[in-house]
Structure 1
Amino acid sequence: MTVSNTHHASHSVRFQAARSLVADAAKKALAMQPAPGKPQASLKGHQDYVTEADKAVELFVTQELNGLFPDDSVLGEEQGGNITGRFRWVIDPIDGTSNYARGRNRWCISLGLFDGDTPVAGIIHAPALGEVFTAQKGQGAFLNGRPIKASQTHNMKEAMVEIGWSPYVPEGWFQEKMTALLDLGAMPRSLGSGALALADVACGRSDGYLEKVIFLWDVSAALVILKEAGAVVSPYLEMGGASKPQTILACAPHTALPLSHAFKVDLS
C-alpha cells in the first residue's frame, strides 16, 4: 500500500466511525430538545446560547473519539481541548443553539477531521431536518448520500445570500454588508446556523454566506464539504482561523467576484 493510500485508509476509517457516532449524538440531541415556546438555555454572552444538550453531546462525542482513536486530539466549543498531533477532530455539538433552544429545526452537529493542518473529512448532521452533509477530501460532497455541487447562479438579481448575525461584529457592520448585498439586487437571508449556511452554499440552495467572526468549530466540517462541492471560499485557515476566529465568505463560483467586491473580502 502506498503512503497516499495509507493516508486515505486512515481518513476513511475515521470518517466511517465518526458518521456512526454523530448519528448517535444526533438522536441524543433530538431527544433533549426543548419544546417550541419553552426555551431552556443559558447565555454565555449577548445572544450566545448554551444548553445542557451542547455539553452532553460534546462530552459523548469526545469520549467516543478518545476511546476509538486515543492518539487523536479533540477540540470542542464547550470544553475546549487542543489541536495537536497528526489527526485532529473539531466539534460543534450544536450549531444553531438559539434555534435549538426555541424548538426550531435549523440546527446541527458539526464534526470535522484534520490531517495536520488540512481538512480531510466533514459531517454536518441536522436531525430535525433529516439531513446529513458529508465529504472526504478527493471523494466529493454529499447530502444524504447524493452528490452535491455549488449553484451555477450568474445573475446577482437572482441570487440568495446569507449574512450571519453575531454579537462579535463591530457596530454598523451588519447594516453595511446588508446594504451592499441589497445594492446588488440579491435576496438576503439570516437563519441562525453558520455550519448549515455553509452547507447550503455547498449544495446550491444559497449562492453565498458571509460571517465576520466565525470560530473553527463552526467551519471545520464545512471547509472540506465546500471544497468538494466546488464552492469558492476565503482563505479562512491561512488567515489564522485554526487559532482564533476569522471572517469567512463562501460563494458559488459565478457569484464569488461580485460578492467579494461588495463585501470587501479577499478570496485569493
Structure 2
Amino acid sequence: MDEIEKRYWAAQGIVRSAGRLAAEHYHRRQELAVERKGTQDLVSEADRQCEDLIVGALKGLFPDDGFLGEERGRQNDGARATWIIDPIDGTANFLRGIPLWCVSLGLLTEGEFVIGIIYNPITEDLYAARRNRGATLNGKPIKVSDVAALEEARLGIGFSYRQPVAAHAEAIGRLLDSHCEYSRLGSGALGLAFTADGRLDGYFEAHINVWDVAAGLCIIKEAGGRVNDFLGGDGLAKGNAVLASTPRLYATLEDLLITRRSPNSRS
C-alpha cells in the first residue's frame, strides 16, 4: 500500500469520527456557543472541536504532514503533503437544523488535490476519491451526469458577501435566460459532491475558500467531471471562483459565469 493509499483509508475513518462528533453537537445545537466571523458567517464550538479531532488523528498517523483548516489555520507550513479541512461546511444550515452540511477533507500534494472525502453524517453519505482511482459514494462508483444542454440542467450556486450582490444576480439572470435551473444549498462541498454523483450538473461560486472545495474538486475530477484552475492566482491562500460541471456543459457555463463577469467582480 503506497503513502496516498494509506492516507486515503485512514482519512475515511477519521472523517466518520468527526462526523459523529458533529452530529452529537447538531442534535443539541441550541446549547452551542456561536460566534460571528463576518456577514452571514458563523462559527461554533462544534466546528473547532471537529477540526481538532481531525488534525489530532492525522498528526498521530502522519506527523510530517501539514494542515490548513478553516478554524485553526496553517500548521507545519511547507510540508510536502497538506490536509485541507472544513470541519463543518454549511455551518449556518447546521445551526438552523437544516441537514445540508458535511465534513470535508482534502489532501494537496505537488499542486494537486489527490484525496477528497466528504461526509454528511445525517444521511450517512460518504463520498471518497483518490487520484487516478475513481470516485465513490458509500463504496459504489459514481459519475457525473451526461447532461449536455442548459435547458436540461440544474446547477448548484453559491454566494458570499465577499462578492458584489449585483454580479451574483446578473449571473443568475444569465442562467435563467438560458433556461437553466439552479439550487442554492448553503454548502459548497455538498454542491460539488452532488455534481460528482449526478444529482446536480454543475456547481459555481464566484468566490470560495480552498477548504470548501479541496475535497470536492478531487471527487468531481475522479467522477469524470471538469473543473477550473482553482489554485491559479493564489487560490490556496486567497480563495477563487470555482466552476465544476459535466464535460459537455463546461465551456458554455464558463462563458456564462466566468467570461461574462464584470472585471470589478472577479476574485
Would you call these one fold, judging by a TM-score over 0.5? yes
SS of the counterpart of 1:242?
Answer: helix
What's the counterpart of residue 27 of structure 1? 20
SS of the counterpart of 1:74?
Answer: strand
Between 166-175 and 189-198, the greater mean CA deviation after superposition: 166-175
Whether the 8 Å CA contact 1:35–1:103 is kept in 2: the answer is no
Change over 3 Å in CA distance of 1:242–1:215 after alignment to 2: same
**Offset, 1:149:** 0.7
> In structure 2, which of residues 65, 79, 90 is the aligned counterpart of residue 72 of structure 1?
65
Change over 3 Å in CA distance of 1:26–1:162 after alignment to 2: same
What's the counterpart of residue 51 of structure 2? 58
> In structure 2, which of residues 258, 263, 267 is the aligned counterpart of residue 264 of structure 1?
258
**Offset, 1:194:** 0.3
RMSD: 1.7
**Offset, 1:263:** 1.0
**Offset, 1:39:** 8.0
Amino acid at match of 1:239: G
Q: Verify: 1:165 aligned to 2:159, yes or no.
A: yes
What's the counterpart of residue 126 of structure 1? 120
Kindly report which structure 2 residues correspond to 1:177-196, keeping only aligned pairs within 5 A, or say none: 177-196=171-190
Whether the 8 Å CA contact 2:32–2:46 is kept in 1: the answer is no
2-side partners of 1:40 and 1:146: how far apart?
38
> In structure 1, which of residues 142, 150, 174 is the aligned counterpart of residue 144 of structure 2?
150
Q: Verify: 1:81 aligned to 2:98, yes or no.
A: no
**Offset, 1:155:** 2.1
**Offset, 1:35:** 5.4
Deviations 1:178-214 (A, max 9, x none): 1011011011110100001011111111111111111
**Offset, 1:40:** 5.9
**Offset, 1:81:** 1.2
1-side partners of 2:147 and 2:32: how far apart?
38
Change over 3 Å in CA distance of 1:147–1:84 after alignment to 2: same
Report the TM-score when normalising by structure 2.
0.92
1-side partners of 2:178 and 2:201: how far apart?
13
Deviations 1:118-147 (A, max 9, x none): 211110011112200000101000111111
2-side partners of 1:200 and 1:262: how far apart?
21
What's the counterpart of residue 216 of structure 1? 210
2-side partners of 1:190 and 1:143: how far apart?
22
Amino acid at match of 2:248: H
2-side partners of 1:77 and 1:239: how far apart?
20
Amino acid at match of 2:2: A
What's the counterpart of residue 254 of structure 1? 248
Whether the 8 Å CA contact 1:166–1:213 is kept in 2: the answer is yes
Between 37-46 and 155-164, the greater mean CA deviation after superposition: 37-46
1-side partners of 2:205 and 2:78: how far apart?
26
Change over 3 Å in CA distance of 1:260–1:162 after alignment to 2: same
**Offset, 1:20:** 0.8
Report the TM-score when normalising by structure 1.
0.92
Structure 2, unpaired ranges of 5+: 261-267
Structure 1, unpaired ranges of 5+: 1-7
Change over 3 Å in CA distance of 1:212–1:39 after alignment to 2: farther
SS of the counterpart of 1:243?
Answer: helix
What's the counterpart of residue 239 of structure 2? 245
Deviations 1:142-174 (A, max 9, x none): 111111111101221111012102111123111
1-side partners of 2:33 and 2:165: how far apart?
29
